[in-house]
Amino acid sequence: MAKVLIIDDEPGVCWALQKTLEEAGHTVTVAGTAEQGLPKAGDAELIFLDIGLPGMDGLKALERLDGVPVVIITAHGTLENAVEALQKGAFDYLVKPLRSEEIPALVQRAVRRAELEREVTRLRAQLDARGPAAPLKGTTRGMQDVFKQVATVALSDAGVLVRGESGTGKELVARTIHDASSRRDGPFEPIDCGALPEPLVESELFGYEKGAFTGANARKPGRIERAHGGTLFLDEVGELPPASQSKLLRFLAEREIVRVGGGDRIPVDVRVIAASNRDLREEVEAGRFRQDLYYRLAVTEIRIPPLRARGEDIPLLVAHFLQTELDYAGEVTASAMKVLEHYDWPGNVRELRNAIEAATVTARGGAILSEHLPIAVRKVAEAAPDDVARVVARIAEKADEGAKFEAVQSAFEQALLQRTLSQTGGNQLQAAKLLGIHRTTLRKLMDRYGL
């Protein structure tokens, strides 16, 4: 149950709200003004705050409340203020007269949100403390969403599917979930499904008994068995052949394995986290991946955005690589950083790390200049302005007089929409966020260009 603080100058509202909360088992403190309530806020897990207070109003009081969810109480005439309060970080708002049936569920959501925020903070601190193994950093919305999902799934034992392009840090996400879970003291067993020859998949996953085949001179536990009590990470699970998919599905259903050449059923307690750079739903539709296995693995799905979709994180990642992983004292010049931010990074964070390491070798202890960066990175940055100019010129030449601007604008809008929708796997909500437009606007543009 939660400790709740009510700050409202209407005794009737306070009485009704306090009664509802206490009946639900919460501990309630009441204050009639912001000046009385703010000193008590440190002990609260949730605050109900009226906007129209005497003395300091609710919006000013909200600015002094940090780290605790705040539910705004407003009259019909102050709904604009309520919206402003939400923009300043309030969790939700209630309109007078209050409806008691809304309040218990609202409190539960707010307290749960606070728990997740604290877990996110703990996980980020844990990531920072892990040093060289922790390039999972970012301040962009996409990475913040990843951090929150990691914090959420770490509290359960359900299956997780991590999606992302090569080099985005899928294994690091899996390790972070493991380290934050109740299985943190157990083993973390990663296996690259795409690197296993098909004849060896079964024996690698399930192990084998002595004499099971030529060369099997002793019993060998499989990777699943070695992960007992911990987490099994199946990287590029979409690469598993059909026969192995069936056997993995049976294990997930029964939580028992049978070694190759053996007959005993061995119970194994593991959490399974899978990863893929493919869209497994498309693989299911194409008949290359079992639908029932997909549903077993993807109880929760975490999608890691590619580096090109979060360019604002590049300086943070570069600083981490230089200071923590490479122990390099030299700085990156502004011109070199612009080149890094302009490049698309098809190899994502892994490619960025390699590029920075190569630059430190060339810079020989000094400041990293743009000419120290790999030539592939520099060429894209140097060629881009001319390439864009040529494309614009070609489009304009083909357009009719008086329609050249509209033709160029339409061509670039359509290309940007197609690229962004491809990056997000067709997720319109995520695409709208990346573009900085409303989802309705995105749909209108998609209709305009037949996307």
**Domain assignment present for 214:** yes
Q: How confident is the model at residue 133 (pLDDT cuts 50, 70, 90)?
A: very low
Six token digits for residue 331? 């700085």
- Residue pLDDT, tens place only, 316-365: 999 999 988 898 988 999 989 989 988 889 899 999 999 999 999 999 98
Q: In 3-state terms, what secondary structure has residue 196?
A: coil
Residue 38 sits in which domain range? 3-110
CATH number of the domain residue 314 falls in: 1.10.8.60
| pTM of full prediction above 0.85 | no
Percent share of the chain, pLDDT over 90: 47
If asked whether residues 277 and 143 sit together in one domain, one would say yes
Q: Which of 64-78, 118-132, 206-220 has the lowest mean pLDDT?
A: 118-132
Q: How confident is the model at residue 87 (pLDDT cuts 50, 70, 90)?
A: confident
If asked whether residues 292 and 181 sit together in one domain, one would say yes
Q: Which of 57-61, 239-243, 440-444 has the lowest mean pLDDT?
A: 440-444
**CA dist 402 to 133, 394, 413, Å?**
56, 16, 19
Q: Which residue has the higher pLDDT, 414 or 185?
A: 185
If asked whether residues 263 and 403 sit together in one domain, one would say no
**Domain assignment present for 23:** yes
The total number of structural domains in the chain stands at 4
User: Given this model, what pLDDT does residue 130 score?
Assistant: 47
Q: How confident is the model at residue 388 (pLDDT cuts 50, 70, 90)?
A: low
Average pLDDT over residues 39-47: 91
Six token digits for residue 278? 């493919």
**Domain assignment present for 146:** yes
Average pLDDT over residues 47-55: 92
Which among 20, 23, 25, 26 has a CA at the least distance from the CA of 3? Answer: 26
The residue type found at 137 is K
DSSP state of 331: P
If asked whether residues 225 and 335 sit together in one domain, one would say no
Six token digits for residue 146? 């990843």
Residues with Cβ within 8 Å of 162's Cβ and at least 6 positions away in sequence, in order, are: 170, 173, 174, 273, 274, 275, 276, 301, 302, 304
If asked whether residues 28 and 162 sit together in one domain, one would say no
Q: Which residue has the higher pLDDT, 177 or 136?
A: 177
If asked whether residues 198 and 94 sit together in one domain, one would say no
User: What is the rounded distance in angstroms from the CA atom of residue 354 to the CA atom of residue 369?
Assistant: 16
Adjacent-strand bridge partners of 270: none
User: What is the rounded distance in angstroms from the CA atom of residue 156 to the CA atom of residue 335?
Assistant: 45
Please answer whether residues 65 and 47 qualify as being in contact, where contact means their C-beta atoms are separated by less than 8 angstroms. Answer: yes
If asked whether residues 373 and 417 sit together in one domain, one would say no
CATH number of the domain residue 82 falls in: 3.40.50.2300
**Domain assignment present for 220:** yes
Adjacent-strand bridge partners of 188: 231
- Residue pLDDT, tens place only, 305-319: 999 888 889 999 999
Domain's final residue, options 303, 323, 355: 303
Six token digits for residue 165? 């392009």
Average pLDDT over residues 97-120: 80
Average pLDDT over residues 130-154: 74
For 159, half-sphere exposure in the C-beta direction (CA atoms, 13 angstrom radius) is 15
User: What is the rounded distance in angstroms from the CA atom of residue 174 to the CA atom of residue 183?
Assistant: 12
Average pLDDT value over all residues in the chain: 86
If asked whether residues 202 and 280 sit together in one domain, one would say yes
CA 249 to chain centre: 27
DSSP 338-397: HHHHHS--TTHHHHHHHHHHHHHHHHTTS-B-GGGS-HHHHHHHHHHHHHHHHHHHHHHH
If asked whether residues 192 and 208 sit together in one domain, one would say yes
What end-to-end distance do the CA atoms of the chain give, in Å? 49
Q: Which of 17-21, 247-251, 303-307, 381-385 has the lowest mean pLDDT?
A: 381-385
User: Given this model, what pLDDT does residue 122 score?
Assistant: 62
Q: How confident is the model at residue 300 (pLDDT cuts 50, 70, 90)?
A: very high
Residues with Cβ within 8 Å of 230's Cβ and at least 6 positions away in sequence, in order, are: 178, 183, 186, 187, 188, 189, 270, 271
User: Given this model, what pLDDT does residue 132 score?
Assistant: 37
Which among 85, 54, 57 has a CA at the least distance from the CA of 71? Answer: 85
Q: Which of 112-126, 243-257, 327-341 has the lowest mean pLDDT?
A: 112-126
User: Given this model, what pLDDT does residue 391 score?
Assistant: 62
- Following CA atoms 394, 397, 403, 407 in sequence, which dihedral angle do they give, to the nearest 10 degrees? -10
Is it the case that residue 160 has pLDDT exceeding 80? yes
Q: In 3-state terms, what secondary structure has residue 75?
A: coil
